[in-house]
Amino acid sequence: MMLLNVEKMSCNHCVRSVTQAVHEVAPAAQVEVDLAQQTVRVQGATDAAAVTKAIEAEGYTVRVVEA
């Protein structure tokens, strides 16, 4: 499980964008987005750097809280 702090998320479109970005690098991963806390919990992905890079490519600022 990895926990990411993802800034600039504010709507359901953001949830879809972040979820799709994670699934591009880890198709079987489970993704939980919490807009209020600005966090994304990912289970089933092993490469935090690839997940972070994919989300950043969508225009978000990402910080790994737990990998």
- Distance between CA 6 and CA 35 in Å, rounded? 9
Domain ranges of the chain: 2-66
Q: What is the mean pLDDT of residues 51-64?
A: 97
Q: What is the pLDDT of residue 46?
A: 86
Q: What is the mean pLDDT of the chain?
A: 96
Residue 5, H or E segment: strand 2-7
Q: What is the mean pLDDT of residues 27-35?
A: 97
Q: What confidence category does residue 66 fall into, taking pLDDT thresholds of 50, 70 and 90?
A: very high
| Arch. (CATH architecture) of 2-66 | 2-Layer Sandwich (3.30)
